[in-house]
Structure 1
Amino acid sequence: MTPVTYSVTDGIAVITVDNPPVNALGHAVRAGLSEAIATFTADADAQIAVLRGGGKLFLGGADISEFGKPLQEPGLPTVVNEIEACPKPVVAAIHGVALGGGLEVALGCHYRLAMPGTKLGLPETTLGILPGAGGTQRAPRLVGLDAAAEMITGAKPVTAEKAVEIGLVDRLGDGGDVAAAGRAYAGDLLAEGAGPRPTRDIPAPEGTLAQKRAEAEWKFKGQVAQVTALDAIAAGLDRPFDEGLAEERRLFQTLIETPQRAGLIHAFFSERAVTKLPELKGVSPRNLSHVGVIGGGTMGAGIATSALLAGLVVTLVERDEAAAGKARETIGRNLDAAVKRGKLTDERRQTSLASLATVTGYDALAEADLAIEAVFEDMEVKKGVFARLDAAMKPGAVLATNTSYLDINEIARATSRPADVIGLHFFSPAHIMKLLEIVVADDTAPEVTATAFALAKRLGKTPVRAGVCDGFIGNRILSHYRAAADHMVLDGASPYDVDRALVAFGFAMGPYQVSDLAGLDIGYATRERKAATAHPRDRSPTFADALYHAGRLGQKTGKGYYDYSEDRRGAQDPEVLDLVAEARAGSQRRFTPEEIQRRYMAAMVNEAAQVVDEGIARRPLDVDVVFLHGYGFPRHLGGPMHWADAQGHDRILADITEFAKTDDHFWQPAPLLQRLLAEGRSFADLNATRKD
């Protein structure tokens, strides 16, 4: 069945694209559109055409799976140009979404109508490319230079109402059926005697993009797509339209060939693949409407806020009335902040607070569908909480722990129903951070895992399945590459050297800046917990302990690795360098920024390979998604495993071998890395073979 159909009634042709699920502009759709426009042009019975999408949306953009492959004609730029050149008027009737190539098709039409609730945007820069079918040339002519630059570099969609306001769309539909609204608009245009109105004939706006370019270079540091897109817009300001189109296409092709495009596309597909697990096939989640939260500290309050924002009923349990009241105040402030950010209306805020109960007894959880424990990171404390949950909650309720490191199998054994126990590792602040590690214990029932993934979807989180080990996926790998950073500091690098080098690599913050943000007491508690099982050859960052004992806990005390007393961003502090110097032993040396980056990344990739090999992460892409959403890994690099493939496993193993000459205890090559190199395979190959 053809994805594009053509029909005519009363002089109005209707061209419908029906290519489920998102009406992607693959080759068959492009060919069908080209043929339909040719048919309309030659059809004496048709005076005007309405182009619409079947199903829930207009057109969902280009088929990303075609990127990097030889283009099959007609290409999207050709199709858009054909629509615009049509000698009879063409109306785009838009509903649902019109993003990327879908909006570019609409820009090639002569008139545009959008239904209420529609989202319109040009998000290509998030994939490392730019609008390559005329978007950088037509959008500025319709909405002006600043609005077009913001749409294209910011990549955020606008509402139908906003689109009408800025001139992107001509008419707002009055609700109801998009086909009827499109036909009505076409009828009005016929009555007015309206003819074709090519966007290309509108004069290019005047102005300069110098300020926007400077802003993009700062905001999207290290990324090339945003600045290149601005160059494409600028190309159309002082030259004929067709020359602007040609330059847009040239720049588009340069971006297609960049490693950043490959990294961003990998991130895009990986985020969709993490929920595709064989254990979830055919498994239905349990009912989920009432959530309990145990503990109302920063994490517990954040989890409760996230659940309230998702429309769930929440009961939060604290140890006494004072703590319960404080938790409610914290949640209220979180909701207030969401209102200020425009994420929540005042009415929704009141509704959310009405759905919250803060109590001191576990009996209030008797009818809850799921409880999430978020108390102090201590095994005995958590086992006590789970014993009480086991006694209080109804059969079939899910019992979840938010532990960051502890053995969930041991926690589950504190209950009479280990099949109902699962780990839900939120990242702080829990109502903002997108990552949710779903830690599946040995006895966790499949429907409990399915319930956890359903919860993540409802909360708007990016879920990744993890197995049980100390730290699961993210924190286990973190402990290893953070140790590599500490070793460099012990051997001569300053914490500030390390942070600068890793910010230059692409991280928003270096590891010591992150420690200050999280609190140095967190790291100290982790080291204390692990001290009993430490290997005699493990190297301890005693300078970090010295900072803790000096009361320098990071931003919350005004001093940590950095001094925040006069600068909120933190200033270097000679006192820290003195404490570091006292912790050092033996000869010292300098580390170049490149070596800091190589050691940090080699440690990260090596431990990640171990995590995949042990099945803690099912696939390398799971590691990538964890680090993109929970640990600030530069998105344009695709994640540590994608980055490792791009660098070459031979190079990474050569680095590990070199580093092992001075520390063969810490630097031990992961067997998986060695096997992949010997077999000529990559982490991407593992992703492909572990789809199901």
Structure 2
Amino acid sequence: MSSGNKSDVVRLEKRDDIGIITIDNPPINAGARGVRIGLLAAVQAFSEDSGLAAGVLIGAGRMFMAGSDMREINAPVLDPILPEVIGAIERCPKPIVAAIAGAALGGGYELSLGCDARIASPEAVVGLPECALGMMPGAGGTQRLPRLAGLPVSIRLICSGERVKARRAAEIGMIDKVVDGPLLEEAIAFARGLGGRKRRVMEMTAPDCDPADLDRAKVDALAAGGGRPHIQLAIDAVEWCRTRPGDEALREERKIFDRLRTGPEAEAMLHLFFAERDSMKDASVDLSSSASLDHVAIVGIGPDCDALAAAMVRRGHSVVLVSELSDLDAVSSCDVIFVAEQANDDRIGALLVRLSAHARAHAVVLVAGGGQTVATLEKAFGRSGKLCGWRGMAGAAGSGIVEIVRQARTEPRTLATALALAKAAGQMAVMVGDSEGLVGRRIAAAAHRSCVLLQEQGVRAEQLREVLTRFGLPVPPLSEATRAEPQTTMDDEQIASWILVAIANEAALMLAAGRVRSPGDVDLLLTNAYGFPRHEGGIGLWARRQQRANLKQVVGMLAEASGERFERAPDVALDALCGEG
């Protein structure tokens, strides 16, 4: 193989009559500006080389392109934009085959759609996740995918942001072939097999579909997306592939994408995306120090234990199920012991005493339930630093997020193990400080208390229900009793403000007390377990968007109306919730 055109992150090499364009921008080959510049240059050089008959576009390492450079997402996108790169591939007179390993997501999959064929290794996944981030595809995804997979399937995939495994992707037309052999060699053979023919997706016609199936897909997508405006925009864009000229539809798609990506909903979704990424990071915790998950003991019975065990087995881990009433010898071979929530505090204490006699010296113990502090549980277990709390429902039966409860003596290895177990079970996790009860539940409960207070002020249950529903918050139990002479003339905006500021105040108190690490962790808890609308990003982002003086003024009004029942967060804590200080 001889080297030709080359840049820092994209290179064009020759193998006989095949040009191989490689994206090399680790770790995920993100479509940063340098990659786009390099791709344009490589495609042009490939087009002009008379000795090359066909090309392969591939990612270095084990990844094709897992999306855009997230550092660019909130900044102006500098030329060349991705549609220009895709247009150059389509205009190229020679066929180019996309060879997909790892992931081709978002702009990465749209890049592959600009090629003349797509083949993938068995473990690859493809998809367009933009709608899950408050946006919609902006580099041709809404126009090219329906020409391959049909409108109903495309609407379902685009609006859900689903990641599709390679074999299913081949079945529905997202890719042409799954190959078991060496990917590059298979791609070269596929490219030669095209015989120089171009297969531009934009020149294809979307397959006919059953109108009833299309209507169902649209209704289902809107329902699953909570009726959010960007979901309707994505549906409309997909339908353009049959009603508008291709060039016009592509331009309009990009225009809407540019508007959405800098809008409030995308800001909220990206805020949660980065919060989830950061929730697994802690300067004191080296995730690689986790105890082995090869053998995990789950002590207890019930649906949560079953769900956790099933999730672990699906991911290839060995699980030992142990009844707390049985002989505990089985745990002696396990490095990780998960103890299910017990009926009462005395029972869990007695069980931990028994476990200490059987568990390995280095075993990590995770205790579900929130009735006691980790310090109390550790005292019963008799080993310092080896135990932490696991609060929240386990596995598929739960909310998908758990609170990992730590105290000052909890060892980093113990925390790393808890985070690794959550990841292996397919759950999000946040680390919280030691105390009784769930942090998220306490913050969310502030909404109910504020509703009680508002009803005491004369606000009718019907009005409260309407305000909560309009914002997207769960409706707590409300008193239907009404006062003969309401004592308030508060409008809906003021009512919503009282409820949201009450939640913000409680979250600020938790931050000040060290119960939760960051506003992002608060937002993950509220949006994943307590019904706070994801399109608002959580209470931390909501508070950041408010004028600080108004926020603190409403806190003062809540304190005055509540009297001794209300604990006011210090101003510095509210500033921290808003991302200041």
How does the TM-score come out when normalised to structure 1? Answer: 0.77
In the aligned structure 1, how far is the partner of 2:44 from the partner of 2:364?
A: 59
Within 5 A, what are the aligned runs for 1:613-652?
613-652=512-551
CA 1:418–1:364 in 2, change beyond 3 Å: closer, same or farther? same
Other-structure match for 1:46:
52
Q: 1:276 offset after TM fit, Å? A: 0.9
8 A Cα contact 2:286 2:416, kept in partner: no
Q: Which moved more, 1:438-447 or 1:467-476?
A: 467-476
8 A Cα contact 2:507 2:577, kept in partner: no
Other-structure match for 2:3:
none
Other-structure match for 2:199:
197
In the aligned structure 1, how far is the partner of 2:203 from the partner of 2:435?
A: 63
Other-structure match for 2:359:
393
Q: 1:149 offset after TM fit, Å? A: 1.4
Q: 1:685 offset after TM fit, Å? A: 4.6
Query: In structure 1, the residue corresponding to 2:118 is in which secondary structure?
Result: strand
In the aligned structure 2, how far is the partner of 1:501 from the partner of 1:65?
A: 36
CA 1:294–1:497 in 2, change beyond 3 Å: closer, same or farther? farther
Q: 1:473 offset after TM fit, Å? A: 2.4
Other-structure match for 1:100:
106
In the aligned structure 2, how far is the partner of 1:152 from the partner of 1:104?
A: 12
Q: 1:39 offset after TM fit, Å? A: 0.2
Task: Name the aligned partner's letter for residue 578 of structure 2.
Answer: F
Q: What do residues 667-686 of structure 1 show as CA deviations (whole Å, max 9, x unaligned)?
A: 4431145662xxxx873356
Task: Name the aligned partner's letter for residue 37 of structure 1.
Answer: V
Other-structure match for 1:366:
332
Q: Which moved more, 1:243-252 or 1:361-370?
A: 361-370
Counterpart check, 1:80 vs 2:82? no
For structure 1, the 5+ residue unaligned runs are 320-359, 513-560, 562-575, 687-692
Counterpart check, 1:295 vs 2:300? yes
Q: 1:11 offset after TM fit, Å? A: 0.9
Query: In structure 2, the residue corresponding to 1:365 is in which secondary structure?
Result: helix
Other-structure match for 1:327:
none
8 A Cα contact 2:308 2:394, kept in partner: no
- Aligned mate of 1:220, from 225, 229, 235: 225
Other-structure match for 2:409:
443
Within 5 A, what are the aligned runs for 1:649-660?
649-660=548-559
Q: 1:493 offset after TM fit, Å? A: 5.3
- Aligned mate of 1:264, from 265, 269, 276: 269
Q: 1:222 offset after TM fit, Å? A: 5.0
In the aligned structure 1, how far is the partner of 2:218 from the partner of 2:500?
A: 31
- Aligned mate of 1:58, from 45, 57, 64: 64
Counterpart check, 1:312 vs 2:318? yes
CA 1:293–1:496 in 2, change beyond 3 Å: closer, same or farther? farther
Task: Name the aligned partner's letter for residue 143 of structure 1.
Answer: A
- Aligned mate of 1:510, from 470, 475, 481: 475
Task: Name the aligned partner's letter for residue 21 of structure 1.
Answer: P
- Aligned mate of 2:498, from 573, 596, 599: 599
Q: 1:152 offset after TM fit, Å? A: 0.9
Task: Name the aligned partner's letter for residue 188 of structure 1.
Answer: G
Counterpart check, 1:408 vs 2:374? yes
Q: Which moved more, 1:388-397 or 1:310-319?
A: 310-319
Within 5 A, what are the aligned runs for 1:202-601?
202-203=204-205, 212-281=217-286, 284-310=289-315, 311-319=317-325, 360-376=326-342, 378-427=344-393, 431-489=397-455, 492=458, 498-507=464-473, 509-512=474-477, 577=480, 593-601=492-500
Q: 1:492 offset after TM fit, Å? A: 5.0
Q: Which moved more, 1:483-492 or 1:180-189?
A: 483-492
Q: Which moved more, 1:31-40 or 1:623-632?
A: 623-632
Other-structure match for 1:684:
579
How does the TM-score come out when normalised to structure 2? Answer: 0.90
Q: 1:201 offset after TM fit, Å? A: 1.6
Within 5 A, what are the aligned runs for 1:163-174?
163-173=169-179
Q: 1:590 offset after TM fit, Å? A: 7.9
Other-structure match for 2:4:
none
8 A Cα contact 2:395 2:427, kept in partner: no
8 A Cα contact 1:492 1:591, kept in partner: no
Aligned length: 571
Q: Which moved more, 1:652-661 or 1:84-93?
A: 652-661
Task: Name the aligned partner's letter for residue 413 of structure 2.
Answer: E
8 A Cα contact 1:15 1:51, kept in partner: yes
**Aligned-pair Cα RMSD in Å:** 2.8
Identical columns (%): 33
In the aligned structure 2, how far is the partner of 1:427 from the partner of 1:365?
A: 22
In the aligned structure 1, how far is the partner of 2:97 from the partner of 2:308?
A: 46
Q: 1:259 offset after TM fit, Å? A: 0.3
Q: 1:443 offset after TM fit, Å? A: 1.7
Task: Name the aligned partner's letter for residue 662 of structure 1.
Answer: A
Counterpart check, 1:184 vs 2:189? yes
Query: In structure 2, the residue corresponding to 1:286 is in which secondary structure?
Result: coil
Counterpart check, 1:131 vs 2:137? yes
8 A Cα contact 2:309 2:319, kept in partner: no
Query: In structure 2, the residue corresponding to 1:165 is in which secondary structure?
Result: helix
Q: What do residues 501-545 of structure 1 show as CA deviations (whole Å, max 9, x unaligned)?
A: 3232124x4334xxxxxxxxxxxxxxxxxxxxxxxxxxxxxxxxx
Task: Name the aligned partner's letter for residue 296 of structure 2.
Answer: V
In the aligned structure 2, how far is the partner of 1:673 from the partner of 1:405?
A: 30
Q: 1:386 offset after TM fit, Å? A: 1.8
